A and B are shown apart, each in its own frame.
Chain A
Amino acid sequence: MMKKIELYLESSALWALYYEEQKSEIVEYSIDKPNIICSSSNWTLLELQRGIQKRFNQKEITEEEAEHLRVFIETDIHRLVNKRKLILQPITEEHIHQARVLIPKYNLYASDALHLTTALLKTSQLLIVDDYHFKRLDEKIKVEQNIEVIPVTMALDDFNEIIESF
């Protein structure tokens, strides 16, 4: 029997599913792998919406494309949730309290602290983030917290090696 792995997808990792030019093999793979339990936070839905809005504000995409992206991403995430391929964790008082502790401890941004807290409360073993967040988070937390931070661009073979090590 394959061992269950708890994996947390930070907003940037989910964003890579839809918009980034370089497809994230490891996110697609994790979502489809039955023994990898993927979760994220309700907060992620807002960050994805903001990501779309920023692109429209910067004239990177048209208003129509922004609306299409909003509808597609929202629907697709609901599909993943309904198929039990993704769990969206609600933000509770406990999350806010713990995130407040993490901000000064690791000098985290509020959003990063909220994601990290949600991942830790779900006892996630892995946290997938984009390269930018990886640089910001990895060194800070890997020593003290029992969670491995993985960049979204990691090769599938390398990712599988990590999965098999659990």
Chain B
Amino acid sequence: MTKLEVASVRITEEEKRFLEQLISQGKFSSVSEALKAGLYELMKEERLKRVPWKTRDEVRKYFYGRKRIIKGLEDLHDEED
């Protein structure tokens, strides 16, 4: 289980109102959840910078010609035969 830490964040009244509005709209269950969603976006962007592809075509080209041991997602089910 991931250990959770506590962090205090100072925000303006306007920012707080905005977060509360998101919660009242049902988009998030708490201020904490709304802030974490923003944090995840930043983390995702950072992780994406390390990925060598920008488009789906680039991904396919990168793996083109790679020896395929598994075809598609088919063998996800073979264990049930």
Contact = CB atoms under 8 A, between A and B. Distances in A.
Q: Do A and B bind each other?
A: yes
Interface of B is mostly: loop
A85 interface: no
A132 B74 CA distance: 7
Interface of A is mostly: helix
Report, as a range, how many residues of chain A touch the other chain: 35 or more
Interface of B: 44, 47-48, 50-53, 56-57, 59-60, 63-77, 80
B38 to A, nearest CB: 14
A166 to B, nearest CB: 27
Interface of A: 11-12, 15-21, 23, 28, 47-48, 50-51, 54-55, 58-61, 68-69, 71-72, 74-76, 78, 109-112, 130-133
A84 B67 CA distance: 35
A68 B53 contact: yes
Contacts of B48: 71-72, 75
Given A109-B80, A112-B77, A133-B74, A71 B51 contact: yes
Nearest to A58: B69
A57 to B, nearest CB: 9
Best-surrounded residue of A19, A59, A69, A109 (most CB of chain B within 10 A): A19
B73 to A, nearest CB: 5
A130 B72 contact: yes
A130 B70 contact: no
A15 B73 contact: yes
